[in-house]
Structure 1
Amino acid sequence: MTDCVQVYTATASREAAVVLGKTATEARLAAGVQVVGPVVSLFWHLGEFGEGEEWQVIFKTTTARYPDLEAHLLEHHPWQNPEITAVPFVSGSAAYLDWIARTVAK
């Protein structure tokens, strides 16, 4: 297990996804971000089944920086209750993991 995580969220538009990714990366809350989409999303919301297109945003950061990234996403996300999840890196190349850690270090 490493100290690095991928953090996921999604937005309704490419533009909103890029803004979240750019602001988090500029603030060094993430070493890098990928915007993927559109993706088909199937979900329950307010008791109703829904389907739509979303843009997935994937942030690379450390567990130490996760709370700051989460706070940033909650403050700047266009949705009231967005998905924000973190998945740990089980392993990775030492140089890549070091780059993430150095880039987001306070």
Structure 2
Amino acid sequence: MNTLLVLTNLPDRATAETLAARLVEDRLAACVNILPPCHSIYRWQGEVETADEVPLLIKTTEARYPALEEAIRARHPYETPEIIALPVLLGLPGYLAWVAAETQSDDWSAP
């Protein structure tokens, strides 16, 4: 099973914690790291904007990614949230197996 590292940013810590907890509770992520706030500079609708954001590092599997993306989009306050999935090419086999096991659906008929 292919492991993914998914990145997103939230506008504040409370929103980040709520989303992270939900993703883990719903077995869409094995683990979510909530990083310290960062300052983002970006172009949005033709204007240069700035914002303080809280980055999340989400560990999941390729099989769970569609449901994870849907859950992020449904709960994210941004109109177009950053959701970037990076493949994990190498990693400690035991850790990667743990990610796979922790993202298995409680409904065994689901992916």
Distance in structure 2 (CA, Å) of the matches to 1:72 and 1:51: 26
Partner of 1:94: 93
Query: Deviations for 1:24-47, whole angstroms, at most 9, x for unmatched residues?
Result: 000000000001121111100111
5+ long unaligned stretches in structure 1: none
Determine helix, strand or coil for the equivalent of 1:37.
coil
5+ long unaligned stretches in structure 2: 106-111
1:50 Cα deviation (Å)? Answer: 1.1
Partner of 1:11: 10
Higher strand proportion, which one? Answer: 1
Residue 49, structure 1, aligned to residue 48, structure 2 = yes
Distance in structure 2 (CA, Å) of the matches to 1:36 and 1:97: 21
Partner of 2:20: 21
Dislocated runs of 4+, deviation >2 Å:
none
Q: If the length of structure 2 is used for normalisation, what is the TM-score?
A: 0.91
Work out the percentage of aligned pairs sharing the same amino acid: 35
Partner of 2:65: 66
Partner of 2:108: none
Distance in structure 2 (CA, Å) of the matches to 1:84 and 1:93: 25
Distance in structure 1 (CA, Å) of the matches to 2:30 and 2:88: 14
Distance in structure 2 (CA, Å) of the matches to 1:80 and 1:49: 16
Count of residues in correspondence between the two structures: 105
Cα RMSD of the aligned pairs, angstroms, is 0.9
1:100 Cα deviation (Å)? Answer: 0.2
- AA matched with 1:32: C
Q: If the length of structure 1 is used for normalisation, what is the TM-score?
A: 0.95
Partner of 1:80: 79
1:22 Cα deviation (Å)? Answer: 0.5
